[in-house]
Amino acid sequence: MAERKPALSTAAALIPEKAAFQQIREIAAGCQACDLYRNATQTVFGEGKLRARVMFVGEQPGHEEDLAGKPFVGPAGRLLDKALDRAGVSRDLVYVTNVVKHFKWEPRGKRRIHAKPNAGQIQACMPWLQAELRFVKPDAVVCLGATAAQALLGRSFRVTQQRGKWIESQWSAKTMATVHPSAILRAPDEETRRREMQRFIDDLTKIRDVLETPQAA
């Protein structure tokens, strides 16, 4: 008999109604709401202080994040740190996470290569992201890449058309989509990479207005 796959609603069912944030993190560590847990080292939950003014949401952890158990610590994370620094934004002031909490990969020789999560895997993982949003209550959400943007703003949302623009959403008064740092790393040449890095920094510079506005009580 074939093994029965976990239901996609499992993650939501795992979250107690009045759970504390640390309790949710601990429960997420054992999540089996989709099949990605089978080949991942561990769940990679978000990181940052609660009530951070800005939340960054990416697609999923990568190879280094999967091993470390922390988001945005690999090449894309280091590029994000560099861009934030040049934009005048401290990473200590933001919360960083991903839509999908397990690393989806394909083998290529001895390497583990990123594979895009499908709609079912994104749906299965959304309750964790929604819980993070409820606890952090960010004044602004920045979606890094199309997967994050479409997960939070709808499948018809196009980063290419609305990049760098603040819009109001159910998640925060200000929500913006921009490219994922990994897209800059994949640029075909140094000049393109330099140009795209500057565009990315320009997008992130808009966060300063949020951070410099007094926080509501």
Q: Per-residue DSSP letters for the chain? A: -PPPPPPTTHHHHHS-TT--HHHHHHHHTT--SSGGGGT-SS----BS-TT-SEEEEES---HHHHHHT-SS-SHHHHHHHHHHHHHT--GGGEEEEESS-S--EEEETTEEEE----HHHHHHHHHHHHHHHHHH--SEEEEESHHHHHHHH-TT--HHHHTT--B--SS-SEEEEE--HHHHHT-SSHHHHHHHHHHHHHHHHTHHHHHHSPPP-
Q: Are 78 and 116 in contact (CB under 8 A)?
A: no
Backbone angle region of 164, left / alpha / beta, with phi > 0 → left and psi within -120 to 50 → alpha: left
37 found inside a domain = yes
Task: Tell me whether strands 94-98 and 54-58 are parallel, antiparallel or unpaired.
Answer: parallel
Total domain count for the chain?
1
7 found inside a domain = no
197 found inside a domain = yes
Q: Are 78 and 100 in contact (CB under 8 A)?
A: no
Integer-rounded Cα radius of gyration of the chain? 17
Euclidean distance between CA atoms 93 and 56, whole angstroms: 11
8 found inside a domain = no
Task: Tell me whether strands 174-178 and 140-144 are parallel, antiparallel or unpaired.
Answer: parallel
156 found inside a domain = yes
The pLDDT, as a whole number, for residue 16 is 83
CATH number of the domain at 30, please: 3.40.470.10
70 found inside a domain = yes
6 found inside a domain = no
The pLDDT, as a whole number, for residue 11 is 74
The pLDDT, as a whole number, for residue 10 is 58
The pLDDT, as a whole number, for residue 17 is 79
| Domain around 141 | 20-209
The pLDDT, as a whole number, for residue 1 is 34
Average pLDDT for runs of 10 along the chain of length 217: 41 82 94 95 96 97 98 98 97 96 96 96 95 96 98 96 96 97 97 98 96 76
The pLDDT, as a whole number, for residue 13 is 77
Q: Are 98 and 61 in contact (CB under 8 A)?
A: yes
The answer to whether the pTM exceeds 0.75 is yes
148 found inside a domain = yes
